[in-house]
Amino acid sequence: MADRKRLIVANWKQHENIKQASILVHRLQERIDRRSSVEVVLCPTFLAIQPLKLQVDAHKFKLGAQDAFYEDTGPYTGEVSAAMLRGLVDYVIVGHSDRRYKFGETDDIVAKKVAAVVRNDLSPILCVGETSSDRANSETAIVLNDQLTVNLTQLTSDEVQKLVIAYEPVWAIGTGDFAKPEQAKSASDIIRGVVKELYGPKAASQVRVLYGGSVTSHNSQAYLDIDGIDGLLVGGASLNYEEFGKIVASASADKK
């Protein structure tokens, strides 16, 4: 089996201002083991990235951004580019369902963002996933295939190997209605299958696949036990330091 390091990502969304983010990091640092074999990535608001960069123990946490614009610089009022995030973060979440469905991001825009993140030597955490009506119509595999095919179109096979893909069924995000482990397993197999078809077996075995959608300390282990799932993308539960500490501990405990 490919040696894929476990990854737990905290997506704080539009929560925690600079001061609150600093307090949360302080609490988390007390709970996370420096020697943990798990990579833990915190994705705060853009505003908090720089102060947290100075505050975090780099042996415990990496930082990520929740989005990045694809043009490096220019007249794009309100945007923050991947180029501007260089040196501050290691990861950038791209194509989160909040962006796709609340801000109208198309697969083409997501593809440009993924390419910009890679071009700037950062790692994209690409989110894909079906809506409840896609699932009801048995279109999960088609949706994942279509999203990945377009979203990865500008990458080489070597670049795809370094990617993180988060399976985030839209119906499970922030709803408490988390996916059954067998649904997450089936989706992760589909994702690796698409990567294999498009970029070959090496890329498919190296790419890290996460599950995200109403993850808590109660269900985290069930996903981490799945062969082919390398970690978790955690929203709501990552704002609670005790919960998130437990989720990270569950990932550290039994490294496959």
Identify the three-state secondary structure at position 232.
strand
Catalytic-labelled residue, pool 16, 105, 168, 243: 168
Angle, vertex CA 184, rays to CA 39 and CA 122, nearest 5: 35
Single out the catalytic residue among 16, 96, 105, 130: 96
Residue 173 engages ligand PGA in binding (rule: CB under 6 A): yes
For residues 198 to 217, the per-residue mask of contacts with ligand PGA, x marking binding by CB under 6 A and - elsewhere, is --------------xxxx--
The binder of ligand PGA chosen from 116, 233, 248, 251 (CB under 6 A): 233
**Which DSSP letter does residue 234 get?**
E
Pick one of 170, 234, 247, 251: the residue that binds ligand PGA (CB under 6 A). Answer: 234
Residue showing tokens 């990045």 = 68
Judged by beta carbon, residue 172 or residue 190, the one nearer ligand PGA is 172
Which residue is listed with tokens 């070959």?
A: 200
- Active site includes 15? no
State in angstroms the smallest separation of the CB of 97 from ligand PGA.
7
182 is catalytic: no
Interaction pattern, residues 4-33, with ligand PGA; x per rule: CB under 6 A: -------x----------------------
Residue 65 contacts ligand PGA per CB under 6 A: no
The backbone torsions φ and ψ at residue 209, rounded to the nearest 5 degrees and listed phi first, read -115, 130
Read off the tokens for 13.
């969304």
The position carrying tokens 């501050």 is 88
Nearer to ligand PGA, 61 or 171 (CB): 171
Sorted by sequence, the CB contacts under 8 Å of residue 46 that are 6+ apart come out as: 65, 66, 80
Q: How far is the CB of 201 from ligand PGA (least distance, A)?
A: 29
Q: Which is nearer to ligand PGA, 11 or 140 (CB)?
A: 11
Residues in contact with ligand PGA, shown as a per-residue x/- string from 150 to 169 under the rule CB under 6 A: ------------------x-
Rank residues 52 and 233 by Cβ distance to ligand PGA and give the closer one. 233
Nearest-angstrom CA–CA distance, 120 and 101: 26
Q: Which long-range contacts (CB under 8 A, 24 or more apart) does 192-201 make?
A: 192/228, 194/144, 194/145, 194/148, 194/149, 195/148, 195/152, 195/160, 195/165, 198/148, 198/149, 198/152, 198/160, 199/152, 199/155, 199/157, 199/160, 199/161, 200/157
Instruction: Return the active site residues.
Output: 96, 168
Q: Interface with ligand PGA by CB under 6 A: which residues?
A: 11, 168, 173-174, 212-215, 233-237
